[in-house]
Amino acid sequence: MTDHTTTDTLRTPIVAVLGHVDHGKTSLLDKIRGSAVSEGEAGAITQHIGATDIPLDTISGMAGELIDPTDFDLPGLLFIDTPGHHSFSTLRARGGALADIAVLVVDVNDGFQPQTEEAIDILRRTGTPFVVAANKVDTTPGWNSQDGQPIQRSLEAQSERAESRLNENLYEIIGQLSDAGFSADLYWRVQDFQKNIGVVPLSAVTGEGVPDLLTVLMGLSQRFMKEEMAIDVFGAGEGTVLEVKDERGFGATIDTVVYDGVVHNGDQIVVGGQEEPIVTEIRALLQPRPLEEIRTEKKFEKVGEVGAAAGVKIAAPDLDRAMAGAPVRVVRDRPVEDVIEEVKAELAEIEVDTAED
Ligand code: GDP
């Protein structure tokens, strides 16, 4: 038997990307993944079910001069792949938001739009720390793109005219944040990220400013979330259902983000269901196959265990009535009735909250 002494370790912060439609959420996630892969190191990213894990070394490689990796002991960042505040607002963890930190994408030309306001409301309500990605700086008239560069490098290459056009737009957004009740500034002017929201000008297409965004996300997590990131690596796993999906050969499965502890194949789990909690036993833990093996018939690879933070597909009997947004709990050494009560209590909280929307 494993010795279950408590061993605290720091887990990866979970990052969500929100914003108005067409403001560039998907492009930003694609750019971050793509640039990470072109960093060229083995293990530059790990594609999980529903999420992408970018280790500190890769982030540090992408951020170049902006990051000194020895300043950090958090292992990296886990980006939830499905952007948008609809999923964000249903994804809870113990009553709070599943994401530890968020990126609010705002088109620098368009400024705040209805879904930006909605996203801000949700971030405020859940108390989620966030940064603003002022996206599409490359569409500023007269812009001279500096692909993949830190934003200061890029600004140095701009005409005065282009820079002042951009500044006008940026200050418009800073004003809109202020109207929404958030004191904000360009991120390099922010002294205290707990009081002020940092605005990062960037382009999801050219990648300029993306190094800055990653640096700010790492810095914020390291400084303000380190305590919350300390988890017992042997603890009973806890997670949230992203999606319920039928998979050939497995039946109904749940794509899950594990945010605490560890989940083993064969574990008994309790999952929030449409009528009542589902008690079942894990038949398989599945991850996407690495890209180079994608030609094989099977989409997934079975793994023995998954530790937080991670995305994983769980196959188990009776999951067809499971619910997106619902809690998943490993039972382990506790009476199953206690875990069922926990799951019920959490579901009740989620329902009250959605009723308020
Ligand atoms: P989403 O709806 O927020 O996920 O937005 P998308 O990522 O789908 O982007 C909407 C459109 O804006 C697409 O045509 C993108 O190519 C374009 N786009 C996104 N980011 C940028 C950017 O930084 N610069 C430019 N020029 N176009 C962008």
Q: Worst-scoring range by mean pLDDT, 11-15, 43-47, 285-289?
A: 43-47
Ligand 1 centroid vs 105 CA: distance in angstroms?
10
50 is in an annotated binding site: no
22 is in an annotated binding site: yes
Asked if residue 1 has pLDDT above 70, the reply is no
30 is in an annotated binding site: no
Ligand 1 centroid vs 75 CA: distance in angstroms?
29
Name the residue at shortest CA distance from atom 16 of ligand 1.
27
- Is residue 14 within 8 A of residue 78, CB to CB? The reply is yes
96 is in an annotated binding site: no
Taking only the tens place, the pLDDT of each residue in 204-215 is 999 999 999 999
Select from 25, 82, 56 the least CA-distant residue to 215.
56
Give the residue, out of 21, 22, 82, 116, with the most ligand 1 atoms within 8 A of its beta carbon, to mutate for a pocket test. 22
Select from 300, 305, 321 the least CA-distant residue to 252.
321
CA distance 330 to 57: 31
82 is in an annotated binding site: yes
Assess whether the C-beta atom of 31 lies below 6 angstroms from ligand 1. Answer: no
Ligand 1 centroid vs 22 CA: distance in angstroms?
6
pTM for the model: 0.93
CA distance 186 to 182: 13
Give the residue, out of 27, 88, 116, 151, with the most ligand 1 atoms within 8 A of its beta carbon, to mutate for a pocket test. 27
Ligand 1 centroid vs 195 CA: distance in angstroms?
30
Ligand 1 centroid vs 135 CA: distance in angstroms?
8
Q: Worst-scoring range by mean pLDDT, 109-123, 149-163, 295-309?
A: 295-309
Predicted confidence band of residue 44 (pLDDT cuts 50, 70, 90):
confident
Higher pLDDT, 294 or 61: 61
